[in-house]
Structure 1
């Protein structure tokens, strides 16, 4: 079995105080992808990533973003959009960043985000498993200008700037995603995109979908983008395939109010796999808490894939 988990830790140091290290040791995953690590390399806690090899792109914005892929064995290759990465084996303490492997020609527009710590992918070789696994942290975005109403928003109106930026990212990333998927196939590998997409796809993915139809993360334009990425021939939503027709399982809940207690969440953390890998998915669960404690405002998405893959 190949077990892959994806979790937005919302700060690795905060998550470790809540028990992330214990969860990581207990969950026995082959691959773990992280988003919003939000920590300078020199400030990472000792043994922050347990007994795993780590490929970590911290980005260049202090205290924000940062994505990583943890693997049992040293990855065969590590690629970013041009950013340097931390490559560390279990027990090592060096803090220097090194160049990642060449990603090939980048899609138009994607290099604009190279320094933000939003994407890293690795080639994993585990006996009979050959797969490229990517960790993505997609921008949250905002509302288009026509939906912004001062006094009724958490953020200050920005004339639609955050919305426009997210849509630009989605446009560029769609092209890059296609390239990455096809490049993996050319290397004889399956491809798995994991992470916090800050997008809920259908009404089943938002507990209060009626009142959130004009909320960032569930806008018609965003949902249409995800529609276009999914098909039986390109990428398959693994969790939805294993949980058809049911509400959730949600992966994010606000810290405010009773959202978590009422399970009034959003499913915005995903594992999207090429068809051969998706067919091998046998179990998908969301670890809402570990020993009674939430690790983050997000919860780990854990999927088991039967081997051999493909």
Structure 2
């Protein structure tokens, strides 16, 4: 069995203060994809990634973004958009930056992704003991198109749709890249699993208050349509929805404000998207809402057990 998790930790230092290290040890996952590390190497806490081997692309924006994949064994290969990665064992700790070259079979970036290459948003790892490529993605949050922006209803200043356009551009380019890298994995005899915070709730089952959120970013019709276009029984399968086709949720993000968490008024933003053969082996899913009564982040880890032999 393979236990695989994804979690947006919203800052590795804050997550450790809330008990991330204990969750990491007790959950005993074989693979963990992390988003929003939000720290450069010299700012990582001691024992940041427990006993796991780690591949990181922290990006160049201090305090923002950053993705990682943790594995039990050293990865067979690592690929990033920036062309380099931090790769190390459990002893990876603050200190002089050491960067390992990525695998030579890096899929060329689609037009439009180059501007995001240094932001620490995407990382791929080939497992050494299983024919499987793990991809970790932190998709831009985005914003509202200009015609939906109303200053009195927004917590951020209106931007004329700039954040919306940036997200839509990323998604269009990433769609092309995803097809290429998934096919490259298949050509090499590997299954493919994309995990991460996609900042999109796909269907009405994925937002508790879907009626009043239809004109909010993350649930816009064009965002939902894009996510649907990435899925099919022959390409990528939404593993959680495959296991729970008729269930509302399980949600993985709740606002820190008000009673959203207590009332389970959340969004499902964190995904396992697997090639069909891998998806068929999924046994169970769990969303770890809390660890010993404490939320690790505004997101919660999504953990899937795969009966992969």
Q: Which category describes the TM-score, using the shorter chain as reference length? A: over 0.9
Which deviates the most, 164-173 or 93-102? Answer: 93-102
Distance 1:307 1:11 in 2: 31
Distance 1:293 1:277 in 2: 32
Number of equivalences? 306
Tell me the equivalent position of 2:56: 56
Distance 2:92 2:244 in 1: 40
Tell me the equivalent position of 1:15: 15
Is the CA contact 1:235–1:274 (under 8 Å) kept in the aligned structure 2? yes
Q: Deviations over 1:85-143 (max 9, x none)?
A: 111111243532233223132222112210000000100132xx210001100000000
Correspondence 1:177 to 2:183: no
Tell me the equivalent position of 2:298: 297
Correspondence 1:101 to 2:103: yes
Tell me the equivalent position of 2:192: 191
Is the CA contact 1:34–1:68 (under 8 Å) kept in the aligned structure 2? yes
Distance 2:167 2:120 in 1: 15
Which deviates the most, 91-100 or 186-195? Answer: 91-100
Is the CA contact 2:107–2:181 (under 8 Å) kept in the aligned structure 1? no
Is the CA contact 1:282–1:305 (under 8 Å) kept in the aligned structure 2? yes
Distance 1:307 1:163 in 2: 39
Is the CA contact 1:3–1:303 (under 8 Å) kept in the aligned structure 2? yes
Is the CA contact 1:135–1:195 (under 8 Å) kept in the aligned structure 2? yes
Tell me the equivalent position of 1:42: 42
The residue matched to 1:264 in structure 2 has which SS? coil
Correspondence 1:67 to 2:47: no
Tell me the equivalent position of 1:247: 248
Is the CA contact 1:207–1:266 (under 8 Å) kept in the aligned structure 2? yes
State the shift of 1:163 in Å. Answer: 0.2
Distance 2:16 2:37 in 1: 11
Is the CA contact 2:80–2:122 (under 8 Å) kept in the aligned structure 1? yes
State the shift of 1:152 in Å. Answer: 1.1
Tell me the equivalent position of 2:152: 151
Is the CA contact 1:190–1:277 (under 8 Å) kept in the aligned structure 2? yes
Distance 1:220 1:111 in 2: 26
Tell me the equivalent position of 1:140: 141
Is the CA contact 2:53–2:88 (under 8 Å) kept in the aligned structure 1? yes
Distance 1:114 1:9 in 2: 21
Structure 1 unaligned residues grouped into runs of 5+: none
Measured on the aligned residues, the alpha-carbon RMSD in Å equals: 0.9
The residue matched to 2:127 in structure 1 has which SS? strand
- With the length of structure 2 as denominator, give the TM-score of the two structures: 0.97
The residue matched to 2:125 in structure 1 has which SS? strand
Give the 5 Å matches for 1:217-296. 217-296=218-297
User: Which aligned segments of 4 or more residues in structure 1 are displaced greater than 6 angstroms?
Assistant: none
Match among 116, 125, 150 for residue 122 of structure 1: 125
Distance 2:142 2:239 in 1: 25
Distance 1:92 1:141 in 2: 33
Distance 2:67 2:134 in 1: 12
